[in-house]
Chain A
């Protein structure tokens, strides 16, 4: 318990250092698009691929498991849309991103720590936390809504593919389903969640990297801890946000 509290204290102090004014705004604005490219744009491929496949699988599973004459045929599209909007594209996709982006951030910063590059920044008088972590957090928070939107559309495209290439459901039933009883707030909810998830992934991973010490094995441990703990925290934040925004 004491160790956990100490960790929380260290995390809060690190965030205080991170969210101070940059030493040099020009350097910050130069760094931000680079981080957005590295953490966001370079992740689009995997997001598209996973979302399409999940869209296909969810559509097929929904059709196969709801063969009930009481249920309208368009319900498949409706289920897929709401699942994507409410949970898959924001929460599950964020868990996947915690693995890819989180380990990337933790290992990058952790390597900088063990090779004394962070000490070098500190000795130069640079606020190392602010210089290294802030562009990553802001960059990922800005990219997350874009990634979530991509994921939703790709998931729906995957479902469409099932309707087009199989005879499990007609395309008109599917399209009617994804339009039926659409609640625009669900999209807003998904975007709001993605901002918070972006913050959790980047900040928790950066925390574990920043306080890594030792050698390659320790950077590996820091990277694993970053993924595990940011995933747990994502789920906890998801519960809180769902309670606050939907219930």
Chain B
């Protein structure tokens, strides 16, 4: 579980995160949603420790990130997996080598054990062995995301961060990636935080959703409570399109 308590962050005097508190549960998909420029990426990077917050607490199962020394942060990061928007695979290494990389750096495994673990992770994300020796530039965007997920889970992380995992993917592949993240989260009881503004993803896997609006937490709920909320910021963001407005109307009609 990750808890953030009253965190604020500013850049050059401009407040980007304003007194945000939230709890991210393990075994669930926790989503941070919001418009572009609302501060959700800054929030995620602050939780990971890539940005140092001005005030507040960030607790990883009770361990306060802000009170940790560099060595402790490095140790904590071995428990963290991250899926980047652009996959961030090492383009000079093959798919298999990419997944083996964290194992080579930090595990005492033999080469055979590392290969076995990497192949297990790649198979878990439904990649065929024929793709193992290809380079990232030789595979599709969806496959790259799968490889990135496999790399993120190779060291059995306790915390998984996904920054816009569906960006640049077609709707079918997006849903597959969402479901994969959900399955892995539940299977390995990981605390997963997904940063997204993809409506399909929100409706599909959002078990715990936090809406960030102009640097403040504007709403908290789940995909099940999203339709019944009368929060203005939420409605402006989620039901911006006519299609979703109609979906909401129908949903509320059915409920009543």
Contacts and interface: CB of A to CB of B under 8 A. Distances in A.
Interface residues of B, number: 22
A131 B75 CA distance: 17
B184 to A, nearest CB: 17
B84 A120 contact: yes
A23 interface: yes
B117 to A, nearest CB: 15
Contacts of B85: 116
Interface stretch (A122-130, A186-194, A228-236): A122-130
B172 interface: no
A27 B50 CA distance: 24
A172 interface: no
B168 to A, nearest CB: 13
Interface in A99-139: 115-117, 119-120, 122-127
Interface in B62-83: 74-78, 80, 82
Contact of B104 (A24, A119, A127): A24
Contact of A125 (B50, B77, B90, B91): B77
A116 B161 CA distance: 14
A123 to B, nearest CB: 5
Contacts of A24: 104-106
A132 to B, nearest CB: 11
B84 A27 contact: no
Nearest to A127: B74
- Most B CB contacts (10 A, CB to CB) among A26, A27, A122, A124 go to A124
Main secondary structure of the interface of B (DSSP, over half): mixed
Contacts of A23: 105-106
Interface in B81-118: 82, 84-86, 88-91, 101-102, 104-106
A116 B84 contact: yes
A117 B88 contact: yes
B74 A116 contact: no
A119 B77 contact: no
A26 B103 CA distance: 13
Contact of B106 (A115, A116, A123, A125): A125
B48 interface: yes
B88 A124 contact: no
A23 B105 CA distance: 7
Given A24-B104, A27-B104, A120 B82 contact: yes
Contacts of A126: 105
Contacts of B101: 124
Given A115-B88, A119-B50, A124 B102 contact: yes
A116 B88 contact: yes
A120 B161 CA distance: 11
B86 A116 contact: yes
Contact of B105 (A27, A117, A119, A123): A27
B94 to A, nearest CB: 15
A127 B106 CA distance: 12
A245 to B, nearest CB: 39
Contacts of A119: 50, 82, 84, 88
B203 to A, nearest CB: 27
Interface in A202-241: none
A120 B98 CA distance: 11
B80 A123 contact: yes
A125 B84 contact: no
Nearest to B85: A116
17 contacts: A23-B105, A24-B104, A24-B106, A26-B104, A27-B104, A116-B85, A116-B86, A119-B82, A119-B84, A119-B88, A120-B82, A120-B84, A122-B77, A123-B50, A123-B77, A123-B161, A125-B80
Interface of B: 48, 50, 74-78, 80, 82, 84-86, 88-91, 101-102, 104-106, 161
Q: Which 3 A-B pairs have the closest CB atoms?
A: A125-B77, A116-B88, A120-B88
